[in-house]
Amino acid sequence: PSFKLREVASMYFTMIAVFLVILVVALQGSVPLDPQGLLELSWNVSYPEQAVHFQLLVRDLQFGLLFGMSDRGEFENADLVVLWSDGHNSYFGDAWSDAKGQLHMDSQQDYQLLGARRAPEGLYLLFRRAFSTCDPKDYLIEDGTVHLIYGILEKPVHSLQAINISAIHRGLQRVQLLKPNITIPELPSDMKTMEIRAPDVVIPSQETTYWCYMAELPDSFPKHHIIMYEAMITAGNEALVHHMEVFQCAAEFDSFPHYNGPCDSKMKPDRLNYCRHVLAAWAMGAQAFYYPEEAGLAFGGPGSSRYLRLEIHYHNPLVFKGRRDSSGIRLYYTATLRRYDAGIMELGLVYTPVMAIPPGEDAFILTGYCTDKCTQLALPAAGIRIFASQLHTHPAGRKVVTVLSRDGRERQVVNADGHYSPHFQEIRMLKEVVAVFPGDELITTCTYNTEDRSRATVGGFGILEEMCVNYVHYYPQTQLELCKSAVDPGYLHRYFNLVNRFNDEEVCMCPQVSIPQQFFSVPWNTFNRDVLKSLYGFAPISMHCNKSSAIRFPVRIAPQP
């Protein structure tokens, strides 16, 4: 269809004019929206204006498209901007979808079309949207994960209401739109690079693959500081490489076997499970990661393993065959050590089945504590500075937040993601450094949805078990590597006793029956659900305040803060 500039008498429609748009601000993020790379989104955040400028490249425009945001990537109850054509004229408007997926033009037009231009590679659309619009039909753009949705119109439509969203080619992409404005530190002149990348692997022709590859540092590699890292994506695979991580292996083993294959393969050596210390993590849409100029992440030297494991998540929904890939992560490091070693500390819940979520829950909350007693014992008098964070749950996780509490009062949010997705995990630089002092508490709360499950979900390492973790990156490094909690097991035993007293169906508490089996046998009526929620809210906790050697600081059972 042709694009014409003409007046439209309706307040609801904005016609598209084709003209050259000159971007006066540098784009801060870019991501392919669809697996074929037909739609590419770039954006810039203006914190003074509290607005996001979007640039959408449409490589093969047919009769229009939908683009927008929703709570978890649904096309129902979504906030949308729509470009559509009736075959003669083309229209652009702010719209929303109801609970049935029917589209409606928004009476308050908050997506502002700034311009459009044709180029050899396709059509560029530039539009603007405020973070908050005070329109109940609009999505509130916040820190954390944003689920972007798109749809492609392959036939002309005569009105917005005529678009059937269930019949169009559509999908979703997850990004962090509101990236912090970080001042890039000056990089040292002796900086070197190391590339940890897949060795020209053939991406399996299936939707989801986790690929593992083992790499080694050179012999007698001395201690260095990693000061920056960035992704290297093989050209043409930008829409297939979903996220990547580089792990360092445990120093207690002298050697690790070479491996290059699927992470879930039976051929993968078990020892690779001891490669879990995160050195770098990247997810689609993430930019280069910089350490603060006064700190670096140590690797190499005595007490540091030479072995690294690269893990790449390939998302191949169109099941491309024969696609080769050499993507990976480039580490920037220096032999000129910075003032502080950076450390990584685990906050949240211990990996234990005593923390469980009943089936059929839409928003069940579990909380893990790093208590004042632990920070008092383990942190230096001058405290530590948290500068980045990686939130982590398994598939039932929906929200994660960590707050800093001092003298019994919440003082600061360390990191929060109200639209968290376990399919989009990255190390995120914080907007401001968080200072934590001895006696402070760090409280991590996770919200879960188990509406699709028929039995309890217990805590643990399995993919159908759950976690609630915040890996915080901080300096200076201390001996404290894990600061987490779980409910006291003795009080959980009392819970099972109570369930037996007040329910016809008996929960077996024989010594040989595991805690997961006891949870699986609980009849999940309202009473049993409410009592478990109360138990997790008020029972004493077992505190794990661990050194890197796995030896605990002397902190055990404590009342809940």
**Residues forming the active site:** 210, 392
Both tokens assigned to 540:
């004493």
Q: Reduced to 3 states, what is the DSSP secondary structure of residue 374?
A: helix
CB-based contact 6:18 (threshold 8 Å)? no
Q: Residues 308, 217: contact at Cβ < 8 Å? A: yes
CA distance 507 to 493: 11
Phi, psi of 372 (to 5 degrees): -60, -35
* 536: enclosing H helix or E strand: helix 526-538
CB 70 within 8 A of CB 85: no
E-assigned strands of 306-464?
307-315, 324-325, 328-334, 340-341, 343-349, 356-357, 364-370, 384-392, 397-406, 409-417, 428-436, 441-448, 457-458
Quote the CA–CA distance of 304 and 248 in Å, as a whole number: 8
Element (H, E) at 497: helix 489-502
Task: Say how many residues make up the chain.
Answer: 561
Locus of tokens 């973790």: 469
For residue 365, the tally of other CB atoms under 10 A from its CB is 15
- Alpha carbon 156 to its chain's center: 37
Tokens of residue 543, six digits? 């505190």
Kindly compute the dihedral angle of the four CA atoms of residues 420, 422, 426, 430, in this order, to the nearest 10 degrees: 30
- d(C-alpha 418, C-alpha 429), whole Å: 17
User: What's 158's DSSP letter?
Assistant: S
Given the structure tokens 């997506």, which residue do they identify?
A: 111
Is 149 in a helix, a strand, or coil?
Answer: strand
3-state secondary structure of 378: helix
How far CA 182 is from CA of 46, 56, 292, 517, in Å, comes to 13, 25, 10, 48
Supply φ then ψ for residue 499, to 5 degrees: -60, -40
CB 368 within 8 Å of CB 483:
no
